[in-house]
Copies of this chain bind each other. A is one copy, B any other.
Amino acid sequence: MSALNDGSRSVTLRDVAKAAGVSLATASAALAGQGRMAVQTRERIVQTAAELKYSRNPLGYGLRTGRTYAIGLHHVDMIRALNETYLLEFMSGVTQVAHAQDHDVALLSSNSTTPRRNMPRVDGIIVMDPLSDDARARELITSGMPVVSGEFLPAGMPPGIAVTADHATAVREILDHVYADGLRSMLLIAPGSNSGWGEALRETVRTWCDAHGVRAHYGEYDFGEQDADLLERLVEPILRQNPDIDFVLTAGAAGVFGAIGAIHAVGRIPGTDVRLACGADGARLAGAPLFITAVQLPARELGAACAETLLSIVEGDDSALLPVNRTIPAEVIFRQSTQR
């Protein structure tokens, strides 16, 4: 399947766990001679590891395959990434940790016109904001190299280790705040199902709204969309058909501008008739006609945590594989747009 022709695919703990039909935690414990499990289970796992030639070397992946002292960084559009504050801060966090441990950081080509010509010469890879339809990301994630995902792995991608901001807690904080002032019906504008972030926001809103008896409507757009006019055309018909909507939550800043345009277009007042909040704070919001409540995403901390997690896997720390998700707190900045 894989177009990678390097041949350096190495067996990971995950391969062993999968082949033995157990969790990563169980596989790790069995091979370390720890944990409570049936003798047969432990034997089956050890047997599987031997068959797959899995080597639990204390110095890990590095010694098995030759360390490069470099980690790779993938984004579906690296050129755009170099122009976006959030992604630059993320990269800066990655680079700070990697360079402090004297590892290079390779910005991997996201030129997806052809498969990669070879495996990147790195010890492990951080995938930024993976999309399920990003063939390059999939190729890297299934390459057998250690991979950490910066933000959610979307459905349809192989499961793996992800470091994410705690969007759920931040969004619930916003919803609780808006609800305290009365909330009947809301609209969430977020990237479509190819984005793990979009799916996570929908899941959080759905669960919260079910629990609070609030109607929820959803609009979806392509991840990374910056065109406010396009988003206005998405939001306006939903507002028109659902005049009870009194709160709009948008994942990104473009959605805020689209929503403001749409709210005006249906003859209502943003912030008063229809409150607003944004899932990602940023400089662009400063251009809005009212101060927007928003989640301050911990970009630098996320990048740093991804690099720390990846480097400890590379250094052979199996425990870094557990837990599969690491969550970084995200602060909500409450502003005018959620106060009636």
Contact = CB atoms under 8 A, between A and B. Distances in A.
B79 A95 contact: yes
A2 interface: no
Given A83-B92, A96-B79, A109 B102 contact: yes
A29 interface: no
B109 A107 contact: no
A223 interface: no
Given A68-B118, A68-B121, A70-B121, A79 B99 contact: yes
A104 B107 contact: yes
Q: In terms of DSSP, what is the predominant structure of the interface of chain A? A: loop
A102 B120 CA distance: 11
A108 interface: yes
Contacts of A67: 117-118
A82 B105 CA distance: 12
A104 B247 CA distance: 44
Contact of A118 (B69, B79, B111): B69
A86 to B, nearest CB: 13
Contact of A79 (B68, B92, B107, B110): B92
A104 B120 contact: yes
Contacts of A78: 95, 99
B106 A105 contact: yes
Interface string A101-144: 01111111111011011101110000000000000000000000
Nearest to A103: B109
Identical copies in the complex: 2
A136 to B, nearest CB: 10
Interface in A44-77: 67-70, 72
A91 interface: yes
Contacts of A95: 78-79, 82, 107
**Of listed A91, A102, A114, A116, residue having the most chain B CB within 10 A:** A102
A260 interface: no
A81 B33 CA distance: 47
A95 B73 CA distance: 13
A135 to B, nearest CB: 14
A95 B75 CA distance: 13
Nearest to A122: B121
A102 B139 CA distance: 15
Interface in A131-177: none
A102 B117 contact: yes
Given A95-B82, A107-B107, A102 B88 contact: no
Contacts of A102: 109, 111, 113-114, 116-117
A157 B161 CA distance: 44
Nearest to A117: B69
Interface of A: 67-70, 72, 78-79, 82-83, 88, 91-92, 95-96, 98-100, 102-111, 113-114, 116-118, 120-122
6 contacts: A69-B118, A72-B104, A102-B114, A102-B116, A106-B107, A121-B121
